[in-house]
Amino acid sequence: MLPRRSLLKGLGVGSVAMLAGGCGSTDPAAEAGEGPNYVLLFDQTKCVGCGRCEDACNQANNLPEGVARLTLERQSDRVPGAVCPRCGKTECNCDRKYVRVSCQQCDNAPCVMVCPTGAAYRDEKTGIVTMDGDKCAGCKYCIAACPYKVRFINSETKVAENCDFCLQSRLAKGELPACVSQCKFDALVFGDASDPKSYVARLLAVKNTARVKPHLGTEPSVHYIPIAKPEV
Amino acid sequence: MNGIDFSTGLGDAIAWPWPIAVYLFFAGISGGALAIALLMRIYKKQTQDTPLLKAAGVVSFVTICLGMLCLVLDLSNPLFFWKILLYYNLNSVMSLGVIVLLFYIPLTAVIAAIALRGELARFPQLKPLMPWLERLAAMRSPLEWLTLVLAVSVCAYTGFLISALIRFPIINTSLLPALFIVSGLSAGAAMAKMVAVKWFGESLHSEEMTLLHGAEWPIMAVEAMFLFMLFSGLIFGTGPSQAATQAFSQGGWSSLFWGGVIGLGFVLPLMLNFALGQKFAHSGRAFYLTGGSVICGMMCLRLFLLYAGQIYTI
């Protein structure tokens, strides 16, 4: 029988380890299991909203007019009517920041879960959520289920689509996603977070990163470096 | 660390528009009508083909077919419907529903055809079918039990289908399948009753009708309780759930709820049957008005849940 003290000690150490594991769950390297864990890091402090990423994506994935796999949402910190925190004027165009809107590549993806035909699926080799257009019946269950509203029907093929890190267009050829390769401001970093030597893993280790709606438990693979302003 | 979020999306704001609400409505009527008629048959140990059973058979088969039509027409390309029949994902509620419907739809046709075989025999074109129908009629009891289970499953399934959507606090609740079963039962019963009286020669005051009239009020009370539970679940929920309670107090969808779901579904039937005197309550006019308003109320419930539900997100 175990002495009570060492049992309690063991329990204590165990729970500390569990807690540490739990806290570190935003660190993708820690939660990675088998295989690669591809992540995309969007640096809000570097993005100027030029839109090159959007154009590159549309071109690389042959998207028809009017639909997009990614977009930039323009946001502002300013309270309407108050002075701009950058230039001090009340009327200006300089207080703006951009947020990348695209498939969050959830580890626990609601779209894959609900898809009745298995058209929305996780690629076995890369773990990336992508689409088998031949199986998609166009029921839009995945669009309704996605908590990020980033799935859409391609107006040409009539099947659902999402950003899959260019898995089907470029990744297979060993190229970077189109948006990443076209970003002139290094605002996008793509890589395998389960490889501790990769640039993205090292960035995630040192930068203050966030994910969108992490409380939903979807474990998104898109990470953001938000513009952090000191509280006034 | 700052929170980060975006509010724009890439798809339409409402992924599932009104045809899906109409489908949920038809599926509920279909399952509810057949379940009520079969329960009556089993409870009363009936052996003859009652007008209620005939009516319920016709109603459930016709409504489920119309529902399927809505479902297929809402696909981004209706010609893709075969893919749902060919590929399956057993993690998906929709896929499980397809399997249920695959058995349920032919069974409703069989149940209706057995109950109506007297009427069908009058058509000379259907003569070759009759020996088959007699053979199926021999296995009637197990078929009816199976159909009863599937009918309730179809009602519940429409609830499970939309409650699986995690980002909508109003519809992401385990209460929904139960609410859809009871509202399906009350509207399905109303529909089957009206068809039985109108086309199958059932008397307004037969023993079966009286029994159904009596059963409807407790079913409605349970439905009202479920609606109240849905509401209290939102009030006592987290921030987004509390914010979603606005759906019941603001905008056009709240008027649909109070006017359609509560007014047509509960208040008007109660008024027609208890406020205007016994004589009116026993009239044919009150019978059809009550049935119609209960059915409209159920349609409003599906519309409200689907639209208001999709507007308020986490």
pLDDT at A92: 79
pLDDT above 60 for A5: no
pLDDT at A26: 47
CB nearest B89 (choices: A99, A118, A140) = A118
Contacts with A141 from chain B: Cβ below 8 Å = 92, 94
Percent of chain A with pLDDT over 90: 68
Rounded to 10 deg, the angle between the B18-43 and B175-199 helix axes is 70
- pLDDT tens over chain B, length 314 residues: 457 899 888 888 888 999 999 999 999 999 999 999 999 999 999 888 999 999 999 999 999 999 999 999 999 999 999 999 999 999 999 999 999 999 999 999 999 999 998 889 898 888 888 888 999 988 999 999 999 999 999 999 999 999 999 889 999 999 999 999 999 999 999 999 999 999 998 888 898 999 998 898 999 999 999 999 999 999 998 888 899 999 999 888 999 999 999 999 999 999 998 888 888 888 889 999 999 999 999 999 999 999 999 999 88
Q: For the residues A66-79, what does the mean pLDDT come to? A: 89
pLDDT at B282: 87
CB nearest B166 (choices: A110, A135, A208) = A110
pLDDT above 90 for A77: no
Contacts with B83 from chain A: Cβ below 8 Å = 117, 119, 135-137
Record: contact B167-A216, CB cut-off 8 A: yes
pLDDT at B278: 86
B253 inside 8 A of chain A by CB = no
pLDDT at A231: 55
Please, what sign has the CA dihedral across residues B148, B152, B155, B161? negative
Contact A137, B80 (CB under 8 A): yes
DSSP code per residue over B28-89: HHHHHHHHHHHHHHHHTT--S--HHHHHHHHHHHHHHHHHHHHHHHTSSSGGGHHHHHH---
Question: Angle CA(B31)–CA(B34)–CA(B37) in degrees, nearest 5?
Answer: 145
pLDDT above 50 for A7: no
Task: Count CB atoms within 10 A of the CB of residue B44.
Answer: 12
pLDDT at A229: 67
pLDDT at A14: 46
pLDDT at A29: 43
- Please give the mean pLDDT across all residues of chain A: 85
Question: Where do we find the tokens 């640039």?
Answer: A199
* The amino acid at B83: K
- Exposed, middle or buried, B222 (CB in 10 Å: 0-12/13-18/19+)? middle
pLDDT above 80 for A174: yes
CB nearest B75 (choices: A139, A152, A227) = A139
pLDDT at A90: 80
d(CA B295, CA B188): 8
d(CA A158, CA A210): 34
Contact B300, B22 (CB under 8 A): no
Contact B10, A101 (CB under 8 A): yes
Q: For the residues A80-97, what does the mean pLDDT come to? A: 79
CB nearest A139 (choices: B7, B84, B165) = B84
Contact A158, B80 (CB under 8 A): yes
pLDDT above 60 for A198: yes
Record: contact B11-A152, CB cut-off 8 A: yes
- Closest to A106 measured CA to CA, from A164, A193, A191: A164
Record: contact B10-A150, CB cut-off 8 A: yes
Shortest Cα–Cα distance, B8 to chain A (Å): 7
pLDDT at A95: 79
pLDDT at B147: 96
Beta-strand pair A222-225/A38-43: parallel
The pTM (predicted TM-score) of the whole model is: 0.87
pLDDT above 80 for A206: yes
**Tens of pLDDT along A112-136?**
999 999 999 999 999 999 999 999 9
Which of A42, A106, A149 best probes binding to B when mutated, by most B CB atoms within 10 angstroms? A149
Contacts with A43 from chain B: Cβ below 8 Å = none
Least confident of A82-96, A193-207, B67-81, B152-166: A82-96
pLDDT above 90 for A191: yes
pLDDT above 50 for A168: yes
